[in-house]
């Protein structure tokens, strides 16, 4: 007989279960439920309420902005550096001013063509060689001035620097590309344009001060040398951010003609031309009126007012019409005239320039936003560069007009009549042509 713990089955012997008396009378052990996993608190990323924080939360926005700011700072340095460098070498401010004006005129002619190439072939592909060529021209100008070469070489080399790309326009084009599919694209683009205008004012406020400091404390050519290094470095950093670069538009889209043919664009450029006359005349007349080392800081207050107003304007959800901004500018531009005529006090003039500058950024932001709406997407760089070219033409005209009045009028204060008159002209052109109304619909 098999052992008691084996049983015969058709398939063979199997082990029978043993009877365990202890186990039979033992209370069954309570089955433990598996411990619940510890909940890790989930951090919900809140959307920043500050529109500027939301803007720079976009991937790559901070990187290309940093490079562009480095590249934009020299734009306020080159002109002052050239004047100081040439006047020190040749003893003639007339020659220095003529050379600087030649470079500005050449830039106004060539910049739209550079911008068209940027639209057709991409920012990095065109901006880097164009910048390298412009910096090379600045270095040749430096060597000519240092060696006191014939005056004609100065005019020739300064014309070669006109290939410098419009870095501010390229930055605005990147914002337009990044924000085109955003839920609040219109408001976000308004904030981006406000930041860009504030950055322009900051660079043109700090650039001349830095250039004057370098040329006076080191050597006359230091301003041009440092500006060239900063310009090339900034453009290289900016162009390296390929993830945020707008795609190249099809050739058929960029070959459809100039943005000048866009409805409303010629009238808007006329407004920019008159607006530029405000800036050019205000600068020259203030330099003639103050006539001393305090002129630089006093003028910087106007840029500071514009910078602060631009940052505040970027937080406004609904921007006013261009005509409203121009009306405010025409009113505020009378403050320097009143301060110089009624008080003759330098602190009063400084305060008036600070207040007058606060109308600049809102007007420019609104105008540049209209340029972006009127210009086809494939020609955005060219359209914004045309606006800058119109501004430069107005600055040159205003400088000449304000300078003539400051020198030939009975008193220097007569020159302060030009800024409010130019602002009034811009307002009349805007109202008569309906500039802005077509773009807003």
Do 282 and 198 belong to one domain? no
pLDDT score at 327: 93
Do 237 and 310 belong to one domain? no
d(CA 113, CA 119): 10
d(CA 75, CA 63): 20
Domain of 117, CATH number, reads: 1.20.1250.20
The per-residue pLDDT string of the chain (441 residues; one tens digit each, 9 = 90 and over) reads 444 444 444 444 444 454 454 444 444 555 555 555 555 554 545 656 777 888 888 888 888 899 999 999 888 788 778 878 888 888 877 787 778 778 877 887 888 888 888 888 888 899 999 999 999 999 999 999 988 889 899 888 888 888 888 888 888 888 888 888 777 777 888 888 888 888 887 887 788 778 878 888 888 888 899 999 999 999 999 999 888 888 886 655 545 567 777 788 889 999 999 998 898 888 878 877 887 667 777 878 888 888 888 888 877 767 788 889 999 999 999 999 999 888 888 899 999 999 998 888 889 888 888 888 888 777 887 888 888 888 888 887 887 788 788 777 778 788 899 999 999 999 999 988 887 664 444
* Residues of the domain holding 231: 59-248
Do 171 and 276 belong to one domain? no
Nearest to 198 by CA among 62, 309, 350: 309
Give a yes or no: residue 78 inside a domain. yes
Do 216 and 268 belong to one domain? no
Give a yes or no: residue 187 inside a domain. yes
Give a yes or no: residue 41 inside a domain. no
Give a yes or no: residue 260 inside a domain. yes
pLDDT score at 60: 86
d(CA 26, CA 36): 29
d(CA 145, CA 229): 18
Do 328 and 244 belong to one domain? no
Q: What is the pTM assigned to this prediction?
A: 0.73
Do 305 and 165 belong to one domain? no
pLDDT score at 377: 76
pLDDT score at 100: 79
Give a yes or no: residue 212 inside a domain. yes
Give a yes or no: residue 29 inside a domain. no
pLDDT score at 140: 93
Do 174 and 300 belong to one domain? no
Domain-ending residue, one of 194, 216, 248: 248
Do 69 and 87 belong to one domain? yes
pLDDT score at 42: 47
Give a yes or no: residue 2 inside a domain. no
Q: Which two tokens stand for residue 432?
A: 């008569």
Give a yes or no: residue 349 inside a domain. yes
Nearest to 140 by CA among 95, 207, 77, 85: 85
Do 243 and 279 belong to one domain? no
Domain-ending residue, one of 226, 248, 270: 248
Do 308 and 221 belong to one domain? no
Nearest to 123 by CA among 380, 408, 366: 380
Do 363 and 441 belong to one domain? yes
- The number of domains in the chain is 2
Nearest to 182 by CA among 51, 44, 350, 321: 51
Domain-ending residue, one of 248, 266, 301: 248
CB atoms within 10 A of CB 262: 18
Do 266 and 214 belong to one domain? no
CB atoms within 10 A of CB 338: 14
């Amino acid at each position: 007989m098999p052992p008691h713990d084996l049983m015969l089955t058709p398939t063979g012997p199997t082990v029978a279960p043993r009877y365990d008396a202890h186990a039979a009378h033992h209370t069954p052990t309570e089955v433990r439920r598996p411990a619940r996993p510890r909940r890790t608190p989930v951090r919900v990323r809140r959307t920043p309420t500050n529109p500027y924080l939301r803007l720079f939360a976009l991937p790559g926005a901070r990187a290309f902005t940093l490079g562009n700011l480095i590249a934009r700072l020299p734009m306020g340095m080159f002109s002052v550096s050239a004047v100081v460098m040439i006047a020190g070498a040749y003893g003639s401010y007339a020659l220095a001013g003529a050379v600087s004006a030649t470079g500005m005129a050449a830039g106004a002619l060539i910049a739209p063509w550079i911008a068209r190439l940027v639209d057709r072939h991409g920012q990095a592909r065109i901006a880097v060689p164009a910048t390298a060529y412009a910096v090379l021209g600045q270095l040749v100008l430096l060597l000519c001035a240092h060696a006191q070469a014939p005056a004609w070489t100065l005019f020739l080399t300064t014309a070669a620097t006109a290939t410098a790309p419009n870095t501010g326009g390229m930055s605005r084009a990147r914002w337009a590309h990044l924000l085109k599919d955003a839920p609040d694209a219109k408001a976000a683009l308004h904030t981006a344009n406000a930041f860009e205008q504030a950055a322009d004012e900051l660079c043109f406020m700090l650039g001349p001060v830095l250039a004057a400091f370098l040329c006076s404390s080191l050597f006359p050519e230091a301003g041009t040398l440092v500006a060239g290094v900063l310009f090339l470095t900034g453009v290289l950093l900016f162009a390296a951010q390929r993830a945020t670069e707008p795609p190249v538009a099809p050739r058929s889209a960029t070959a459809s003609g100039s943005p000048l043919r866009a409805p409303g664009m010629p009238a808007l450029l006329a407004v920019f031309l008159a607006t530029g006359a405000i800036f050019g005349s205000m600068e020259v007349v203030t330099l003639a009126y103050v006539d001393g080392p305090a002129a630089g800081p006093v003028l910087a207050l106007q840029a500071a007012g514009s910078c602060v107003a631009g940052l505040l304007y970027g937080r406004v959800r609904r921007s006013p019409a261009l005509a409203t901004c121009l009306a405010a500018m025409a009113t505020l531009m009378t403050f320097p005239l009143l301060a110089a005529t009624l008080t003759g006090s330098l602190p009063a003039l400084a305060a008036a320039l600070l207040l007058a500058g606060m109308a600049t950024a809102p007007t420019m932001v609104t105008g540049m936003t209209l340029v972006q709406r009127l210009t086809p997407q494939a020609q955005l760089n060219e359209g914004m560069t045309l606006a800058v070219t119109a501004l430069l033409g107005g600055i040159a005209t205003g400088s000449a007009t304000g300078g003539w009045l400051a020198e030939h009028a009975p008193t220097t204060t007569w020159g302060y009549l030009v800024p409010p008159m130019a602002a009034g002209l811009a307002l009349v052109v805007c109202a008569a042509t309906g500039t802005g109304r077509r773009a807003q619909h």
